[in-house]
A and B are shown apart, each in its own frame.
Chain A
Amino acid sequence: MRGTDDTDETATANDGDGLDPREAARLLARTKRDARRQFNISPPWITAFMGAVILLGYAALWLSTRGQHPYSGPSAGAIVLVYVTVAVAIAVSVKVYRRATAGVSGPALRKQKVEGAAILISYIGSPVIQGAMRHYGASHAIVYGVIPAAAPLIIVGTTVLGVAASNANRPQFITALAVVTAGIVALFVGPSGAWLAAGIGLFIGVVVYAAMTGKRFLLA
């Protein structure tokens, strides 16, 4: 038999008689904490990891475009770095999500999947606007600077804002609000500054989310 609290294969009416209330309270608290960890799709470490990815990606984009006159866009190296870090972040997130939701089924999980799909679909918004801007002859600075930096934050951020509001999820709502605000700021600070504003805004959003959810996790 693997490690277990009960050593026999039967459960009788008296099998809790030897359990001291203090021990029961400790067991209950430990089990609740372990279960929350098991089912948590965004553990603190992944939030910290996302923060690092954001910082690295946006710093690379900003550094490669800083001081460009006229604006020509991020360097190939910076773009490759961003794609690689985003791919790694997606792979890690999917692995964590699959592990947390393995064996779980029901209405809450289905709702979560629909919300996830809505957020993923909203990512299409930015390249569509970018394409339209290019079609109408907007400048390089707008098409390859301001829009790709600011639009995802505003579009995806407002989608997350709606999801958070419908779930009364305060940490998610505040984070999404910070991200949308950063996106709006990014629209008005020039093509290179847009990457910096977007990166700082996203990073602050992630840090705020980690702090709020971490505190909630410790207090629960």
Chain B
Amino acid sequence: MGTDTLDPVIHAPARLRIVATLAALPDGDSLSFTRLQDILDLTPGNLITHLRRLEDAGYLTSESTGNGRASRTTIALTHQGRAALDTYTEALRDLLGGF
């Protein structure tokens, strides 16, 4: 089954889970790095790598506040990221004939 129509940025297990998890939050809300890591059960290094890929594509934004132990990174899905997930979901539906 061809996957050419599926967005390669989202069509990877870890990134698909990241985008789908962030999309469950109301538009504009963000999630801390630690909570996202806890939910997805990914290592920090793995999560950072995938987040960077999604951020480079403009699908999410990250913001860091504080220094040292008090530092906190939050991640939010952008409108573009939400739209990309919708398009990806539609493309999957078309491929599978509705799921």
Contacts and interface: CB of A to CB of B under 8 A. Distances in A.
Asked if A and B are interacting partners, one says yes
Interface of A: 1-6, 8-11, 13-17, 19-22, 24-25, 27-29, 31-32, 34-36, 38-39, 102-109
A134 to B, nearest CB: 44
A11 B12 CA distance: 9
B1 interface: yes
B28 A24 contact: no
Interface string B1-44: 10100101011111111001101111111111011100111110
A85 B45 CA distance: 45
B41 A106 contact: no
Given A21-B1, A27-B13, A102-B35, A9 B8 contact: no
Interface of B: 1, 3, 6, 8, 10-17, 20-21, 23-32, 34-36, 39-43, 45-46, 49-50, 52-53, 74, 76, 89, 92, 95-96, 99
Nearest to A22: B96
B30 A31 contact: no
Contacts of B13: 5-6, 16, 19, 27
Contacts of B21: 31, 34-35, 38
A13 B17 CA distance: 16
Nearest to B11: A16
A2 B14 CA distance: 13
- Closest 8 A/B residue pairs (Cβ): A103-B35, A106-B29, A108-B26, A103-B32, A35-B24, A5-B13, A16-B12, A16-B11
A176 to B, nearest CB: 21
Contacts of A31: 16-17, 20-21
A106 B26 CA distance: 9
Contact of B34 (A1, A28, A38, A103): A103
A109 B29 contact: yes
Contact of B14 (A11, A21, A36): A11
A24 B16 contact: yes
Contacts of B45: 9
B41 A3 contact: yes
Given A20-B1, A21-B3, A4 B20 contact: no
